Amino acid sequence: MRNPRRGFRVCVLFVLIPFLCWVESVNGIGANWGTQSSHPLPPETVVRMLVDNGIQKVKLFDADYGALRALSKSGIEVMVGIPNDMLSTMASSMKAAEKWVSKNVSAHLTNSVNIRYVAVGNEPFLATYNGSFLRTTFPALQNIQAALVKAGLGAKVKVTVPQNADVYESGASGVPSSGDFRADIHDYIFQITKFLNDNGSPFTVNIYPFISLYIDSNFPVEYAFFDGQATPVNDGGTTYTNMFDANYDTLVWALQKNGLANMGIIVGEIGWPSDGDRNGNNEYAQRFMQGFMSRVAGGKGTPMRQGPIEAYLFSLIDEDEKSIQPGNFERHWGVFYYDGQPKYALNLGTTVTGALVPARNLKYLQRKWCVLKDSVKMDDPSIAQSVSYACALGDCTSLGYGTSCGDLDAKQNISYAFNSYYQINNQVDEACKFPNVSTVTKDDPSTGSCRFGIMIEPYYAGADERRASVGFLVGVVLLLLMVL
Ligand SMILES: *[C@@H]1O[C@H](CO)[C@@H](O)[C@H](O)[C@H]1NC(C)=O
Ligand SMILES: *[C@@H]1O[C@H](CO)[C@@H](O)[C@H](O)[C@H]1NC(C)=O
Ligand SMILES: *[C@@H]1O[C@H](CO)[C@@H](O)[C@H](O)[C@H]1NC(C)=O
Ligand SMILES: *[C@@H]1O[C@H](CO)[C@@H](O)[C@H](O)[C@H]1NC(C)=O
């Protein structure tokens, strides 16, 4: 929503024509900008990418100073985030909440950053958190809202809480119309949602058909896609042919059931990974993303909510330092690779050519790679140790069954691991000195779908510089220890 407050008023004025409430919502697509990368693109480069691609909204996971400074005067709508590990502080101290708003919202607004939302926490009720944030999320939300009001920003900047889609569920029948908040956390979700609604704020939800497919091998693949040939689900005469619609409408019904029928909905994350799993590949990612974008561009909505869908793609760019605890696909959510190059054709409906516009003015390191020495015998005992070291500190998530480098032989596999470590460490000589088994080559070892990457030049901003070089020193020391 461009102006939720105004939207709210329009809804009140035209309460008999609720359709108009959704016309108020903004068209166009947003994107998530995550920064868990060994070599993040310079913030100015990312903002240029957003502008070039007609992406009008961006969602951050924190309030990164460099990113916000680069967004100044871009006009792009921004959602800043409060990470989960700050929730207890925000919950227990009004002062801390006021300071956060002052430093991370007011100061940037003054500098012409178009901040429109504060995301309080990120999927705080995810099962893996064991309920750690159940009690802190709501008070943190209340304090941040109060701090925004106190700073005179109550109308301009809205709070929200990005939720994972399992905070609501459908009943035994499995159809959207049986939707409600999940029984075991119903009261928490209701309290938060009602508070958001009372303040003219939207419900933000992350919807992932890919994850459904990943965790359930019986999930009908076709049902994940918008153009799929899945057997339709019949919900009292309304038919659903894809999971996104059914999931979104389950939320619509849950809100309705709880007296919040007119509440706005934002899809905070939606996307498909391109690697790291047998269902994570460019073909499926392209099919899902294009299906979704065509839906968004058509302004069609879901059976229960006609009209535009407000959504943020997950994600703009791959992040090679994301935790792979959920799965190797985690580092491959980008529509663009780590270096801002498009992975596949995608028409966002926002550019003249209908093509994605890559990042500009990139500086790559030299064209050289670290590989396994030809002469090495595969039974050399130091190989296994070197590979596990390289993969622990590099990125081997493109190796394995069904991935982009899944067809490599054992030797190429090892080279891939060595090269990843070497590139992530900026091609310094020491990073290709796996004892007696590695060597630097100028012949590109890439094959078919498997890219042996060359890293981009590191970008250092202020405090990050120290962190990066300390990280490298630690790496070198570890490597030396291993060699000795
Ligand atoms: C502002 O946000 C940054 C990034 O999330 C965080 O590190 C910092 O502590 C915040 N500032 C305040 C005053 O809370
Ligand atoms: C959640 O519980 C599991 C099992 O009890 C534990 O292994 C994990 O570390 C816990 N996670 C958090 C975030 O507390
Ligand atoms: C290559 O590495 C991956 C991941 O470690 C492994 O699953 C696969 O079996 C390896 N392939 C060969 C041919 O060694
Ligand atoms: C490397 O090779 C040399 C010569 O073959 C040998 O003397 C040395 O022990 C090897 N080092 C390691 C760590 O395997």
pLDDT of the residue at 6 = 34
Residues with CB under 6 A from ligand 1: 62-64, 99-100, 103-104
Pocket test for ligand 2, best of 84, 88, 126, 128 (most atoms within 8 A of CB): 128
Q: Is 85 in the pocket of ligand 2 (CB under 6 A)?
A: no
Question: What DSSP assignment string belongs to 230-261?
Answer: PPPEEETTEEE-SHHHHHHHHHHHHHHHTT-T
**323 and 373, same structural domain?**
no
**148 and 289, same structural domain?**
yes
Ligand nearest to the CA of 434: 4
**379 and 234, same structural domain?**
no
Angle at 185 between CA 255 and CA 148, to 5 degrees: 65
Residue range 176-201, pLDDT digits in tens? 999 999 999 999 999 999 999 999 99
For the residues 247-273, what does the mean pLDDT come to? 98
Instruction: Establish if 405 belongs to a structural domain.
Output: yes
pLDDT of the residue at 475 = 53
User: CATH code at 58?
Assistant: 3.20.20.80
**285 and 212, same structural domain?**
yes
Residue range 291-325, pLDDT digits in tens? 999 999 889 899 999 999 999 999 999 999 999 99
pLDDT of the residue at 461 = 64
Residue range 3-46, pLDDT digits in tens? 333 333 333 333 333 333 333 334 679 999 999 999 999 999 99
pLDDT of the residue at 228 = 85
Q: Would you say residue 405 has pLDDT above 90?
A: yes
Cα(483) to centroid(ligand 4), Å:
10
Cα(82) to centroid(ligand 1), Å:
8
Q: Would you say residue 289 has pLDDT above 60?
A: yes
pLDDT of the residue at 468 = 47
Instruction: Supply the mean pLDDT for the chain.
Output: 91
Q: Would you say residue 465 has pLDDT above 50?
A: no
Cα(474) to centroid(ligand 4), Å:
24
Residue whose token pair is 């994350």: 269
**382 and 312, same structural domain?**
no
Domain range enclosing 395:
369-483
Q: Which of 283, 307, 332 is the last residue of a domain?
A: 332
Residues with CB under 6 A from ligand 3: 399-400, 409-410, 413
User: CATH code at 463?
Assistant: 1.20.58
> In total, how many domains does the chain have?
2
Backbone dihedral angles phi then psi of residue 164, each to the nearest 5 degrees: -75, 150
Q: In the 8-state DSSP scheme, what is residue 168?
A: E
442: how many CB neighbours lie within 10 A of its CB?
Answer: 8
Q: Which atom of ligand 3 is nearest to the CA of 405?
A: 1
Cis upstream peptide for 315 (omega within 30°): yes
Residue range 369-398, pLDDT digits in tens? 999 999 999 998 889 999 999 999 999 999
**395 and 324, same structural domain?**
no
Q: Would you say residue 276 has pLDDT above 50?
A: yes
What percent of the chain lies above the pLDDT cut of 90?
Answer: 86
Instruction: Establish if 360 belongs to a structural domain.
Output: no
Q: Is 131 in the pocket of ligand 2 (CB under 6 A)?
A: no
Structure tokens at 328: 């190797």
Q: Which atom of ligand 4 is nearest to the CA of 380?
A: 14
**382 and 303, same structural domain?**
no
Pocket test for ligand 3, best of 413, 414, 416, 452 (most atoms within 8 A of CB): 413
pLDDT of the residue at 28 = 78
Cα(414) to centroid(ligand 4), Å:
19
Q: Would you say residue 266 has pLDDT above 70?
A: yes
| Residue 173, CB-side half-sphere exposure with 13 Å CA sphere | 12
**105 and 220, same structural domain?**
yes
What's the alpha-carbon Rg for the chain, to the nearest Å? 24
**223 and 92, same structural domain?**
yes
Cα(436) to centroid(ligand 4), Å:
6
Cα(38) to centroid(ligand 1), Å:
21
**382 and 309, same structural domain?**
no
Dist. CA 370–CA 421, nearest whole Å: 9
Residue range 337-374, pLDDT digits in tens? 999 999 999 999 999 999 999 999 999 999 999 999 99
pLDDT of the residue at 249 = 98
Catalytic residue from among 77, 123, 310, 330? 123
Q: Which of 309, 332, 355 is the last residue of a domain?
A: 332
Nearest alpha carbon, ligand 3 atom 4: 400
Whether 269 is catalytic: yes
Residue range 52-105, pLDDT digits in tens? 999 999 999 999 999 999 999 999 999 999 999 999 999 999 999 999 999 999
Instruction: Establish if 16 belongs to a structural domain.
Output: no
pLDDT of the residue at 190 = 98
Whether 310 is catalytic: no
- Say if residues 176 and 304 touch (Cβ distance below 8 Å): yes
Q: Which atom of ligand 4 is nearest to the CA of 436?
A: 1
Q: Which amino acid is present at 120?
A: V
Nearest alpha carbon, ligand 2 atom 2: 130
Dist. CA 294–CA 371, nearest whole Å: 42
Q: In the 8-state DSSP scheme, what is residue 342?
A: B
Instruction: Establish if 352 belongs to a structural domain.
Output: no
Residues with CB under 6 A from ligand 4: 382, 435-436
Residue 271: closest CA among 7, 23, 30: 30
pLDDT of the residue at 333 = 98
Nearest alpha carbon, ligand 1 atom 1: 104
Instruction: Establish if 226 belongs to a structural domain.
Output: yes
**172 and 53, same structural domain?**
yes
Instruction: Establish if 386 belongs to a structural domain.
Output: yes
Ligand nearest to the CA of 437: 4
Q: Which of 279, 305, 332 is the last residue of a domain?
A: 332
Q: Would you say residue 463 has pLDDT above 60?
A: no
Q: Would you say residue 119 has pLDDT above 50?
A: yes
**413 and 283, same structural domain?**
no
CA 6 to chain centre: 29
- Say if residues 180 and 168 touch (Cβ distance below 8 Å): yes
For the residues 403-429, what does the mean pLDDT come to? 97
Q: Would you say residue 2 has pLDDT above 80?
A: no
* Confidence at 478, pLDDT banded by 50, 70, 90: low
